[in-house]
Structure 1
């Protein structure tokens, strides 16, 4: 599975080590909506996500669903669930068609032990994710919906034409907001000419105007 080399954490592995990893990782394909893991299950395999998008899922008390994390290939999906060895409070689901290599958790741990560059990359990614999660929690507690959405869009890769390629419902699930709240906030940002809603998703048209909505006091 030579395409494993597209995953940033594995990019610098020697060719023979990468080839060996490819032989041990089981190829897998998922359709949109397929469940990779249910909440409460242990992560028996690490998911080397090659293409597509998967999300962590959690059901709310009101019968809704939130997506506290999201990965688009090439990437390693849900590393904490694998490394903890404990039942995960969140499930894992493909929201687009996806391809992946599945490596048993023990094999992933050996890889981290044997390959310092992979270990360093994974640790740095975990640190970034932890800080991002801390920031998102602070935003959820302290910011109104329009500011949270503006901040989320600003955090996306500015080189991408479409800042959010998904639907408004998907954005609501990622942020833990209602669909109505997201729709109202996006309408406000659109009227301010900060964003544009397109068939392909949400495009940032003016980052300065969008950033103004994250300022303290914005409601």
Structure 2
């Protein structure tokens, strides 16, 4: 079936096989290498970006050229659906962090599915609500005076899966751009957390060793 990878995306898993197959046939997969822009800040958000495999990062450059990183999305997921639903423009530039499999689905298809299927509407509302709450926590985190607390809180929120290994697209530099810290400051904060036995650093990643110690260190960011 041409829709087997599309079915792995939670949003499309709610559809029947026939609908998924039609969408998959009409909107084929694209193989996108690392380092490619898939959506640019300020451009019309006319298509839903369906990330079936790989990781993309969201970023923006301020007027003085300083980079701001909003975060990362790893497939299978939808990318920037809020901008598509808003009918406006992309609020970040989305770039592939590694080789990705991406499908572009027109905004009208998303709206049709929302209109026709209550389960799809509920799923999207939950996802957008969760994103709003994550954004609020990020604003609170950014106001924390201690860099160690900012880094610890971000790691505690990012922990998923049984291995507790958190990939850092862009490495410590990328994490610093997301938190408003320099790479050196992030490195120092990670050393403090490592010495406390909360984490272990690896090239391009952090492994959480003790979630309770990490949560205690990040408490100052909440």
Q: Could you give the per-residue CA deviations for residues 87-133 of structure 1, whole angstroms, max 9, x where no partner exists?
A: 23321111111101111111221122122212211110000000110
The answer as to 2:76 corresponding to 1:74 is: yes
Instruction: Give the structure 1 partner of residue 31 of structure 2.
Output: 29
Does the residue aligned with 1:26 lie in a helix, a strand or coil? coil
Q: Distance in 1 between matches of 2:12 and 2:24?
A: 11
Local SS of the residue matching 2:95: strand
- Looking at structure 2, the residues matched to 152 and 217 of structure 1 have their Cα atoms a distance apart, in angstroms, of 9
Which of the residues 172, 193, 198 maps onto 2:197? 193
Contact 1:111 1:118 in 2 (8 A): yes
Counterpart of 2:213 (choices 204, 209, 212) is 209
CA distance in 2, matches of 1:115, 1:24: 20
TM-superposed deviation, 1:162: 4.3
1:112 is aligned to 114
* Aligned match of 1:184: 188
TM-score, normalisation: structure 1: 0.92
Aligned 8 A contact 1:163 1:203 in 2: yes
Q: CA contact under 8 A between 2:144 and 2:221: conserved in structure 1?
A: no
Flag the 1:54–1:211 CA change in 2: closer, same or farther, 3 A.
same
- Distance in 1 (CA, whole Å) between partners of 2:140 and 2:219 is 14
Q: C-alpha displacement at 1:61, in angstroms?
A: 4.1
Q: 1:25 to 1:160 in 2, by over 3 A?
A: farther
* Distance change (3 Å), C-alpha of 1:25 and 1:158: same
Summarize the Cα distance change of 1:197–1:13 in structure 2 as closer, same or farther, 3 Å threshold: same
Q: Kindly indicate whether residue 89 of structure 2 is the aligned counterpart of residue 87 of structure 1.
A: yes
Unaligned runs of 5+ in 1: none
Could you say what the CA RMSD is over the residues aligned between the two structures, in angstroms?
Answer: 1.9
Give the Cα–Cα distance (whole angstroms) in 2 for the partners of residues 31 and 189 of structure 1.
34
How many residue pairs are counted as aligned between the two chains?
Answer: 218
CA contact (8 A) 1:46 1:82 kept: yes
